[in-house]
Amino acid sequence: MKSLNKALDIIEMIAQRGSLGIRELSSFVGFPVGTTHRIVATLAKRRFLVQDPASRNYSLSLRFLELGTRVQQQFNLTSIARPYLEKLMQETGESANLAVLDRDDAVYLDHVRSNHMLQLFTRLGARVPLYATGVGKMFLSRLSEQELKDYLARTAMAARTPRTIVNADNLAKELAQIRKAGFAVDNEEMEEGVRCVAAMVFDHMKRPVAALSLSGAVTRITPERIEYFGEMVKQYAIRISESLGFNS
């Protein structure tokens, strides 16, 4: 499967760099120009890439948006949770987000943005590390001791901000605290100036399937209001869980 792997390399490279000519692309991925061109031509013929007539550069086509939203929709979780996200945003005035666990990342499946100027920049489908986010720590708090250990073994905890938890012991303490409170707080650990409050969503088998969160500027999500936001997120997370057939 050498050629397929090359094609996937090319797709990833174009996704990363945006728009590239054959020459640039071939030097970035390290394949000869001829090979690169053949693969790109095939992907373009199949409409997975588009070529800008002016610059002759290739970029990913809107087909990826089409496929991506189909994937999003196949989680029927999304359609069930959507109205709750909207209500939660309206009631609290802060952006509501829904994330799922995918390997060692949390992935944002959906969000409803508040209309405040200052916003955490979460893009749909964006991947964020577990140890540095509210939704991520929520997932981590449900792991067994062994699973957590394995996760830590394969993860380098980089300091995104001065407040990021980069120490296994501190993380363990934090997770214990989260289990006690039933919600997780991201206190400017991912992005300076942004706090996040998250709670778990369960399915009918009582499995943790998603994390619900509120995110906003530190000026609005203040330490005094953390409890309030925590309760709100927990409450809505339960409601979504119940819509999924969860019975406490």
What are the residues binding its own copies (CB under 8 A)? 1, 3-5, 7-8, 11, 15, 18-19, 38-39, 41-43, 46-48, 59-62, 64-74, 86, 100, 102-103, 107, 109, 115, 123-127
Q: Which residue from 9, 28, 29, 35 is in contact with DNA, where contact means CB under 7 A?
A: 35
The distance in angstroms from the start CA to the end CA of the chain is 48
Query: What's the closest the beta carbon of residue 90 comes to its own copies, in angstroms?
Result: 9
Query: What's the closest the beta carbon of residue 63 comes to DNA, in angstroms?
Result: 19
Stretch that binds DNA, among 8-16, 24-32, 160-168, 206-214 (CB under 7 A): 24-32
Query: What's the closest the beta carbon of residue 54 comes to DNA, in angstroms?
Result: 7
Q: Is 31 in the site for DNA (CB under 7 A)?
A: yes
Q: Which is nearer to its own copies, 72 or 243 (CB)?
A: 72
Q: Which is nearer to its own copies, 8 or 158 (CB)?
A: 8
Q: Is 142 in the site for DNA (CB under 7 A)?
A: no
Of 171, 146, 147, 138, nearest to 157 by C-alpha is 171
Query: What's the closest the beta carbon of residue 59 comes to DNA, in angstroms?
Result: 12
Residue 154 contact, options its own copies, DNA, none, Cβ 5-8 Å cut-off depending on partner type: none
Distance of CA 171 to the CA centre of its chain: 20
Q: Is 125 in the site for DNA (CB under 7 A)?
A: no
Distance CA 33, CA 23 (A): 6
Q: Which is nearer to its own copies, 171 or 244 (CB)?
A: 244
Check if the beta carbon of residue 181 is closer than 8 Å to that of residue 206.
no
Distance CA 122, CA 137 (A): 17
Query: What's the closest the beta carbon of residue 228 comes to DNA, in angstroms?
Result: 45
Cβ count near 162 (within 10 Å):
8
Q: Is 21 in the site for DNA (CB under 7 A)?
A: yes
Q: Is 49 in the site for DNA (CB under 7 A)?
A: no
**What residues make contact with DNA under the rule CB under 7 A?**
1-4, 6, 21-24, 31-35, 37-41, 51, 54, 56-57
